[in-house]
Amino acid sequence: MDWTLVGGLAVGLLIVTAPVGVSGAVFLLPVQLSVFGVPSPAVTPTNLLFNVVAGPGALWRYRRDGALHGELARRLVLGTLPGVVLGAAIRVFALPGPGVFRLLIAALLLPLGLWLCLRTLTRAHHQEPSTGELPPRTLTGLALAVGVVGGIYGIGGGSLLGPILAGRGLPVTRVAPAALAATFATSLVGAAAYALLALVSSGDVAPHWWLGLACGTGGLFGGYLGARFQPHLPERTLRLTLGILAAALGALYAAETLT
């Protein structure tokens, strides 16, 4: 068997970020670029394919535990679905080059990771907002913007919504299932959009099917395990770890872009 498929399966299995509402695609993407050598813009739909295959593992566990319900998930999906289609078009026709894409990764992950770390470390000094403090229209608008970025970036949207909402102080147990539901829905639509765009555009636009399926199969089991053990993991540790990883990856790609 091709070592790339074995490596993809292993990487997908080891990226267990489902407890905080992140599919793991945000951390898989740099691996695809640097280790597996997936070209741009094909790396984006390959990442979306990973989300489609990996998502049901965590979602099934959350649904079984009764955590996958409520208005939050519906609002996130409603906003991110149209956003990811627009983001896919922007990615193919306006941002095809790897240099611009690496810069985009750095610009997204570095400040988001630092902000999440800061909010986690200072969380005890702030009152936790309730879901009522997030107006429905504001939440949908935020999801729309994140959906556009997710369509460009290949993360489905939930990988940004999870840290943003967690950073606001919303309980991870509520954010995680909703963010993963949005990620799955938008990744499904986004992957289909890229498949259609590949028919009318030149270049390597279609996903690398076997790699995406291999990574997604690993993520299917890893996501289930992450959702299964979420109640036993310290929320503060998860938030801080997520922020550190995001900031470190952003700094790495910022350095690579500048050199």
Sign of CA dihedral 41, 47, 49, 51: negative
Tell me which H or E stretch contains 157: none
- pLDDT band (50, 70, 90) for residue 131: very low
pLDDT > 70: percent of the chain: 85
- Whether the per-residue pLDDT at 251 is higher than 80: the answer is yes
First to last CA, the chain: 36
pLDDT at residue number 159 = 67
Dist CA 150 CA 48 (whole Å)? 9
With contact defined as beta carbons under 8 Å apart, do 152 and 87 qualify?
yes
* Residue whose structure tokens are 């280790």: 35
pLDDT > 90: percent of the chain: 2
* Residue whose structure tokens are 């997908």: 12
List pLDDT tens digits, range 202-223.
777 788 888 989 988 988 888 8
Domain count within the chain: 1
- Whether the per-residue pLDDT at 2 is higher than 80: the answer is no
pLDDT at residue number 129 = 44
- Whether the per-residue pLDDT at 128 is higher than 60: the answer is no
DSSP class of 49: H
- Whether the per-residue pLDDT at 22 is higher than 70: the answer is no
Q: What is the mean pLDDT of the chain?
A: 79
pLDDT at residue number 98 = 58
pTM: 0.79
Q: Which residue has the higher pLDDT, 103 or 76?
A: 76
- pLDDT band (50, 70, 90) for residue 132: very low
State the average pLDDT over residues 12-41: 74
Q: From the CA atom positions of the chain, what is the Rg in Å?
A: 17
Name the H helices within 35-157: 43-64, 71-93, 98-121, 136-153
pLDDT at residue number 123 = 64
Q: Which domain holds residue 217?
A: 3-258
- Rounded to the nearest 5 degrees, what angle is found at the Cα of 145, between the Cα atoms of 142 and 147? 105
Answer whether the bond into residue 129 is a cis peptide, omega within 30°. no
- Whether the per-residue pLDDT at 149 is higher than 60: the answer is yes
- pLDDT band (50, 70, 90) for residue 20: low
List pLDDT tens digits, range 180-208.
888 888 888 888 888 888 887 777 778 88
Token pair recorded at residue 151: 């369509």
With contact defined as beta carbons under 8 Å apart, do 43 and 154 qualify?
yes
pLDDT at residue number 138 = 85
pLDDT at residue number 158 = 67
